[in-house]
Amino acid sequence: MSGRTMKETERVEAPQGPGHRFMGGQLGQKAISFGPSLRRLVGHLRPERVKVVFVLVTAVVSVGLAAFGPRVLGWATDIVFAGAIGSNLPSGITREQAIEGARAAGQTQIAELLTGVDFTPGVGIDFRALGLLLLLCVALYVGAALFGYLQGYLLNDVVQGTIYRLRSSVEDKLNRLPLSYFDRQPRGELLSRVTNDIDNISQSLQQTMSQLLTSLLTIVFVVTMMVIISPALALIALITIPVTMVVAGVIMKRSQTQFIAQWRHTGALNGQIEEAFTGHSLVKVFGRQEAVRERFDEENEDLYQASFGAQFLSGLIMPIMQFIGNLNYVIIAVVGGLRVASGTMSLGDVQAFIQYSRQFTQPVTQIASMVNLLQSGVASAERVFELLDEDEEPSENHKDMIGEASRGEVCFEGVSFRYEADRPLIDDLSMTVRPGQMVAIVGPTGAGKTTLVNLIMRFYDLDAGRITLDGVDISTIQKSSLRSQVGMVLQDTWLFKGTIWANIAYGRPGASDEEILEAAKATFVDRFVHSLPDGYETIIDDEGSNISAGEKQLITIARAFLSQPALLILDEATSSVDTRTELLLQHAMSALRSNRTSFVIAHRLSTIRDADLILMMEEGRIVERGTHDELITLGGAYADLYNSQFEGPEVEMGMGAAAAAT
């Protein structure tokens, strides 16, 4: 029914009730295709279909048994009632005589009441019958509880299994997406999909599945019982269903806008707080504290207003539902009372009816709120499905592997590449790098230096030309095989949360302890590790305040060292290591580079003076190439760049004009 209560194109907003966590990522997202996405989400349950069938069966049994309980209790009440009346009448007369007697005495109303009660004058409560009924009732309730537990247990298995597989497939997907996807997608957006959205799906599945199922079944069973007991009263009670739905719908809609406002302001306020705290010292030093506080107060006040509205409106739902339930109760009590008095209904039936009517306003309200929660879950599911539907990198299983050790001869033959169709980045580049040679790539930021090495790694595919390794076109080799020949130290020092030791060991699976230690020593990680209280067991975490940026970089270098690559790529690797450490590092690096072809991108020109080939890049083109001496003699862009670093005060006036002209 949930699918039918809303239009397929309906706008779906993420925030739900007050108890649900705020997930910034999905605010304002639309579920453009609620139906298909819901079906697809349900489709993910398929591997568990046997369990799903059991869940349905146990749910029907459990709810059915529970629904029958009040009816039996009603009969029990009748027995008590009959006994109470019977014991007040003289024994020896028949039921009919008693009714006639009452009528004769002018108590017509009592007489009518008595016609509806199955009593025997002079006989009290039939405890044998009562006991049997109550035992039946106990059996029903115990059975309902057992089956209810079984249902919840199995459903939990189904949901957790499904979420487990969904998470796995998302992780799997991450590994099969081309790098260009990661470039295109803002990082926060991607992270929000793989974390917040999946959490949200998991939460809403857990909460909605069980409740929707039992609520729907409860309504069906309860309504059936009500109709059996008294169609007329059932009709009155049923009128409250649409009333409840409409009232709940209206309030929820209004509170939802407030919730959206609340989360929006929460987001904005969090942003302000984050900014003020991370930029704390600057806020202070620039004397902006007052201004920042004023902005905070404004946003905080807005948040207060919105969250008050949300809290108040959502707080209304329960009392209003209770009120509608009470109206129901009053009407049934009065109408039922009148019918008992007229003898057309038994007291136990009224009693049962009241219990049923109480039982059924609750699931109706619950369904209304579950639909909301489900919408938010489906909106998240849709975002996850979008990710799962992204184009993947083509499979490479049919391609060749590289034999044990590559010699490291790299050739570019007419290579062209561009990220965007109208902006050529690398155009018709050809060069040959012999084994063991060092290629230095220099040039301003954005010149395409990183792109060049990315192509060697096959992070992107070429638009034209080919790159060969040992004479083999790298596009015909499996990527994993190619990359295992290359050691890479990247600009950003990516480390995972784990010990320093584990982070170095990451470079090569199966490396021995000696090899890891050797790598650490060669790259001077060993030196600073000894000054840490936990040594190699020091945990590196996100905040990483315990380890400096330079030290992190050293670890990434050790990691590359360990991988013993044939090719080495150093991407501005040493820019945040201080000069003395860098000096030591350079010795290690030149040892690492010996017998290895290496591509180095560096800012400090002193590092690359001995390069076999220097490529000077500007705006995606290689404008100059040659050795250091050749390029200096050439007196072009490289010579300018090289000279500029030695500008001291004594040459300042002379160089000023030249620099200003560039």
Partner 1 sequence: MLWKILRQYLSVHRRELVFVIVLQLVATIAALYLPTLNADIIDNGVVLGDTGYIVRIGLVMLAVSFVQIGATIVAVYFGSRAAMGLGRDLRRSIFTKVAGFSSQEITSFGAPSLITRNTNDVQQVQMVTATGLTLMVMAPIMMVGGIIMALREDVGLSWLVVVAVPILAGSVGFIASRLIPSFRRMQKRIDDVNRVLREQATGIRVLRAFVREPYETERFDEANIELTNVSLTVGRWMAAMFPIVMLVLNLSSVAVLWFGGLRIDAGAMQIGSLTAFLTYLLQILMSVMMATFMLVMIPRASVSADRMGEVLESESTVRMPDEAVTEVHSAGYLDFEHVTFEYPGADYPVLSDVSASARPGRTLAIVGSTGAGKTTLTNLIPRLFDVTSGTIRVDGVDVRDLDPEVLWSKIGFVPQRPYLFTGTVASNLRDGKADATEEEMWAALEIAQARDFVEAMPDALDSPIAQGGTNVSGGQRQRLQIARAVIRRPEIYVFDDSFSALDLATDARLRRALRPVTRESTVVIVAQRVSTIADADQIMVLEDGRVMGIGTHDELLATCPTYVEIVESQAEAKAAS
Nearer to partner 1, 103 or 418 (CB): 103
Neighbours of 67 (CB within 10 A): 24
* Three-state SS at 388: helix
- As measured in angstroms, the least distance from the Cβ of 432 to partner 1 is 23
- As measured in angstroms, the least distance from the Cβ of 224 to partner 1 is 19
- As measured in angstroms, the least distance from the Cβ of 35 to partner 1 is 27
Nearer to partner 1, 194 or 472 (CB): 194
Nearer to partner 1, 19 or 403 (CB): 19
**568, 438 in Cβ contact below 8 A?**
no
H or E element in which residue 151 lies? helix 127-176
Nearer to partner 1, 34 or 83 (CB): 83
Q: 549-584 burial by CB neighbour count: b if 16+ within 10 A, else e?
A: ebbbbbbbbbbbbbbbbbbbbbbbbbebbeeebbee
Burial (CB count within 10 angstroms: exposed 0-12, middle 13-18, buried 19+), residue 115:
middle
**Spatial separation of the C-alpha atoms in residues 297 and 260, rounded to whole Å:** 20
Nearer to partner 1, 30 or 280 (CB): 280
Nearer to partner 1, 140 or 472 (CB): 140
- As measured in angstroms, the least distance from the Cβ of 582 to partner 1 is 6
- As measured in angstroms, the least distance from the Cβ of 583 to partner 1 is 3
* Three-state SS at 600: strand
Structure tokens belonging to residue 558: 């050790």
- As measured in angstroms, the least distance from the Cβ of 394 to partner 1 is 15
- As measured in angstroms, the least distance from the Cβ of 169 to partner 1 is 11
Per the listing, tokens 């209004």 go with 254
Nearer to partner 1, 8 or 390 (CB): 390
- As measured in angstroms, the least distance from the Cβ of 428 to partner 1 is 26
Q: Longest Cα pair distance anywhere in the chain, in angstroms?
A: 134
- As measured in angstroms, the least distance from the Cβ of 640 to partner 1 is 7
**Spatial separation of the C-alpha atoms in residues 209 and 155, rounded to whole Å:** 8
Nearer to partner 1, 274 or 391 (CB): 274
Neighbours of 220 (CB within 10 A): 15
**Spatial separation of the C-alpha atoms in residues 380 and 252, rounded to whole Å:** 20
HEC profile of 302-358: HHHHHHHHHHHHHHHHHHHHHHHHHHHHHHHHHHHHHHHHCCCCCHHHHHHHHHHHH
Nearer to partner 1, 227 or 276 (CB): 276
